[in-house]
């Protein structure tokens, strides 16, 4: 009898293993993807390498992303692909000096290398997908589609503190997608030879969202419940996306964390394409005809371009502060097609997606964004510059509220020593991602009960939103109402020894509209 039971269990184990392996294979129009199980959470399935557009290489460098053809190719999705082409700056930052796990993994390359990022490439238009291990085509799970930050110049999927396995493990009821998109000169060249085409990051974003909407059901997702979410530059992209594709956003909801189209830090506009021409001439493409200049630059090796631009920019900051700066960012390429000069005007014209939104800020955004100093930036600068984001959230939320759209606001104000290891950091720009992704667990140092509780509440509230935005009030997160007494309600996380509390809008953003009001960076 015992032998029969053992044999039965062995057969069952083999059958389960075969079923599990079968669930690692997903068929889509653009390919067959073979994924794996997460090493830490065996109830989480991942597909780390999923192309969503044709590689923008060779003649496709500096062109709009192209949709993939039909394919039955079997693709190994168990290993991350490269990030999009970028440079590892030699300029000290808090990300390199004080905290770990918040930069793209470059396999041993110094965090201050001053060189082309080893784990980046032009063939990079891929996304990654995390699902419950038992998800099937009948699961119809809500989806978060995340876009990373990086100031329009760096970023990518393979950033340890942005990997969502913990969150999917806890919920077992949603899917998370994260996305690579082109950055810096390969995204925002503003080359005259392109005749106005550019802002390729936003075009990449659209094609990625289209791919997910078309194919996510095969992974167990519900294409009618896709919430797009971005942080920092990714957040600004999501907000701009809602003003670009306002009549067909595809997404059912949107979350913006720490950057908004209104109030996005302005950088030098380059209407004449002088920055690209300067780089081209410096790399041997010295032609008066913009078309010839562009074609020549398409033949220059990617690492040579990234090293020239990055090292020139580093030199402008570290050595020769009088040297003319060159930038390749979204705000430097206002084309009135993907990026607009006046987002307030577009809101007033009704040119913004009619979907529910969440806008979030951190209490000390700029403690990590100002030029690095060992003892931290001046407090008055942290306060002054943090208000750029806080007031951007306030002004945008006010416009949406007046338009009758459901909007929810949060402030991340936690200060946990494992994720903020130096005292002047506090609730810095990016640190809320530790909470949402559950990656505070990999940060070295003590983890308190409050930190665990705060992360779980933040994860659960976002899950409530992507599952059914209309449930937020009943779950304890009131909608934002700028006309209410004391400026409406904002949900505050991690402050005052509490995982979550509801505070007045005026207590957070009063300095944006009340004369004499003072902004509090340490609530």
362 token code pair? 């951190």
Measure CA 148 to chain center. Answer: 2
Cβ neighbour number for residue 1 with a 10 Å cutoff: 5
Residues in a beta bridge with 144:
176, 227
5 token code pair? 């039971």
203 token code pair? 């075009």
Taking CA 466 as the corner, what is the angle to CA 463 and CA 467, rounded to the nearest 5 degrees? 80
Dist. CA 519–CA 386, nearest whole Å: 9
Cβ neighbour number for residue 429 with a 10 Å cutoff: 26
Rg (C-alpha) for the chain, rounded Å, is 23
Dist. CA 246–CA 517, nearest whole Å: 35
Q: SS3 sequence, 430-494?
A: CCHHHHHHCHHHHCCCCCCHHHHHHHHHHHHHHHHHHHCHHHCCCCCCCCCCCCCHHHCEEEEEC
φ, ψ (nearest 5 deg) of residue 85: -50, 130
Q: Report the catalytic residues.
A: 232
Dist. CA 386–CA 265, nearest whole Å: 11
Query: Would you call 380 exposed, middle or buried from its count of C-beta atoms within 10 A (0-12, 13-18, 19+)?
Result: exposed
Dist. CA 170–CA 40, nearest whole Å: 12
User: 203 in helix, strand or coil?
Assistant: helix
- 3-state helix vs strand vs coil in the chain, percent to 5: 35, 15, 45
User: 224 in helix, strand or coil?
Assistant: strand
- DSSP annotation of 108 reads T
End-to-end CA distance of the chain: 66
Q: Could you give the maximum distance between any two Cα atoms of the chain, in Å?
A: 88
> For 445, left (φ over 0), alpha (ψ -120 to 50), or beta?
left
């Amino acid at each position: 009898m015992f032998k029969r039971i053992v044999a039965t269990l062995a057969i069952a184990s083999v059958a389960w293993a075969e079923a599990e392996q079968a669930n690692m294979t997903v068929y889509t129009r653009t390919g067959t993807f073979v994924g794996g199980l997460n090493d830490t959470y065996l109830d989480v399935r991942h597909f780390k390498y999923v192309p969503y557009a044709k590689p923008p290489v060779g003649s496709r460098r500096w062109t709009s992303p192209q949709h993939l053809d039909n394919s039955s190719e079997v693709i190994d999705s168990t290993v991350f692909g490269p990030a999009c082409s970028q440079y590892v700056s030699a300029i000290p930052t808090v990300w390199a000096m004080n905290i770990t796990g918040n930069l793209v993994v470059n396999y041993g390359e110094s965090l201050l290398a001053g060189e082309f990022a080893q784990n980046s490439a032009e063939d990079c238009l891929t996304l990654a997908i995390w699902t419950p291990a038992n998800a099937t085509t009948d699961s119809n799970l809500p989806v978060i589609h995340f876009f990373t930050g990086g100031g329009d110049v760096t970023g990518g999927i393979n950033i340890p503190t942005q990997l969502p396995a913990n969150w999917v493990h806890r919920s077992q009821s949603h899917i998370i997608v994260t996305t690579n998109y082109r950055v810096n000169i390969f995204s925002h060249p503003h080359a005259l030879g392109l005749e106005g085409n550019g802002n390729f990051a936003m075009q990449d974003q659209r094609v990625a969202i289209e791919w997910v909407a078309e194919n996510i059901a095969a992974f167990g997702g519900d294409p009618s419940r896709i919430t797009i979410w971005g942080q920092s530059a990714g957040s600004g992209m999501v907000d701009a996306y809602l003003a670009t594709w306002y009549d067909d956003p595809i997404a059912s909801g949107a979350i913006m964390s720490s950057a908004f189209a209104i109030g996005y830090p302005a950088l030098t506009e380059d209407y004449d394409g002088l920055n690209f021409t300067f780089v081209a001439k410096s790399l041997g493409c010295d032609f008066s005809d913009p078309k010839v200049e562009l074609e020549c630059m398409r033949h220059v090796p990617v690492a040579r371009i990234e090293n020239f631009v990055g090292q020139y920019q580093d030199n402008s900051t570290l050595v020769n502060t009088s040297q003319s700066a060159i930038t390749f960012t979204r705000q430097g390429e206002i084309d009135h097609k993907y990026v607009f000069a006046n987002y307030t005007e577009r809101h007033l014209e009704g040119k913004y997606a009619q979907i529910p939104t969440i806008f979030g800020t951190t209490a000390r955004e700029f403690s990590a964004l100002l030029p690095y100093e060992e003892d931290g930036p001046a407090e008055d600068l942290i306060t002054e510059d943090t208000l750029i984001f806080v007031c951007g959230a306030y002004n945008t939320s006010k416009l949406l509220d007046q338009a009758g759209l459901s909007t929810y606001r949060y402030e991340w104000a936690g200060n946990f020593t494992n994720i903020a290891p130096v005292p002047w950091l506090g609730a810095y720009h990016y640190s809320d991602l530790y909470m949402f992704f559950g990656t505070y667990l990999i940060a070295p140092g003590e983890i308190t009960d409050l930190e665990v509780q705060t992360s779980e509440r933040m994860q659960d509230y976002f899950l409530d939103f992507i599952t059914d935005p209309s449930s937020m009030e009943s779950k304890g997160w009131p909608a934002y109402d700028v006309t209410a007494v004391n400026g409406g309600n904002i949900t505050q996380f991690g402050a005052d020894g509490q995982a979550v509390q509801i505070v007045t809008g005026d207590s957070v953003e009063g300095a944006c509209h009340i004369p004499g009001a003072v902004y509090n960076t340490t609530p």
